[in-house]
Amino acid sequence: MRNILSLTKEEAEEIITSWGYPRYQASNLFKWLYTKRSRDFSSMTDLPKSLRERLSGEFRIEYPRVLQVSEAKDGTKKYLLSLEDGEAVESVWIPERGHTTFCLSTQVGCRMGCRFCATATMGLRRNLYWWEIVGQVLRLLEGTEGRVNIVLMGMGEPLDNWENVSRAIGILKDWMGFSPRRITLSTVGLLPILRRALEEFPNLRVAVSLNFPDDERRTKFMPVNKKYPVGEIIKTLKELPISRRERATVEYVLFKGLNDSLRDAEALALLLKGTKVKINLIPYNENQAFPWKRPPDEMVEEFASALRRKGYSVFVRYSKGNEIKAACGQLRTSWGKGSQPQGN
């Protein structure tokens, strides 16, 4: 039977009306699926009993299966989730002060080829469907209390799968109560789609992964820079339709001896002059796939201080979940088709 979470609202309306029920019952169904998060058609008491029976006879309600959960000392949890075709992705549950953050994947692997990211070593296996993106939220919400923020920073480049990501954001916004202000999308800089994303969701928070203040090094480590160079990124940042109180985020991963000098800080400050941004500094999370090292904390703080003296809002993001490889740039799974799903 088809997973009912794969239905769009329009498809649900078409099916329900073809069975002779009013169109509005599709809205009632979606409230049960996404707002109340019911996994049992029989509990959907404001749907006619005959409709509930018809739905349960032709559809199932299924979230991504939990294959494994790893927990770090800081409370961060990494979920290995199985998809219906036997592929799998990793999602991260991050405890924060006053809220929880869900880090979601949008692709199985990634084709951007950044030469410091473990996900890139997988290549791109496929895009996630929109209901698989929402399914990660539904699964991670189990047992979660209080406010939740969402970051699209897991496996994959969200803008490389915008059709599905857009639909997922629509479900999160319209049926699950997530304001786009509580959703952050991280991108390597697929600029035309970034503009389109903000036209569609004006309050969506965006983070551009810059990492190097010049084309030579950025192209070496991030091949996408050949198509969307640093100058075009800065031009786009200046033109983004961001409200007066909001700022885009520039993400800058610090690598020991590669881009962490005070000269680099000066170059970054000069490059970003005139842009409405805040800067997230991310000390590199080391992994075995690459030789790069994390700079000492004192170097990180000196870099941050140099930017603050230039008037920038700077946040150092010491990643959580490092010991379970759940930190930024570390997500990767060897799970694939033919592996035997387990869990619930």
> How many CB atoms are located within 10 Å of the residue 173 CB?
17
SS3 of the chain: CEEHHHCCHHHHHHHHHHCCCCCCHHHHHHHHHHHCCCCCHHHCCCCCHHHHHHHHHHEECCCCEEEEEEECCCCCEEEEEECCCCCEEEEEEEEECCEEEEECCCEEECCCCCCCCHHHHHCEEEECCHHHHHHHHHHHCCCCCCCEEEEECCCCCHHHHHHHHHHHHHHHHHCCCCCHHHEEEEECCCHHHHHHHHHHCCCCEEEEECCCCCHHHHHHHCHHHHCCCHHHHHHHHHHCCCCCCCCEEEEEEECCCCCCCHHHHHHHHHHCCCCCEEEEEEECCCCCCCCCCCCCHHHHHHHHHHHHHCCCCEEECCCCCHHHCCCCCCCCCCCCCCCCCCCC
| Residues belonging to the active site | 90, 328
Closest C-alpha to 184, from 154, 206, 157, 167:
206
CA distances from 326 to 68, 85, 96, 182, 314 (A): 13, 24, 15, 21, 23
Spatial contact of 175 and 35, defined as CB atoms under 8 Å apart: yes
Q: What tokens does 53 get?
A: 């029976």
Spatial contact of 337 and 87, defined as CB atoms under 8 Å apart: yes
Q: Determine the length of the chain.
A: 344
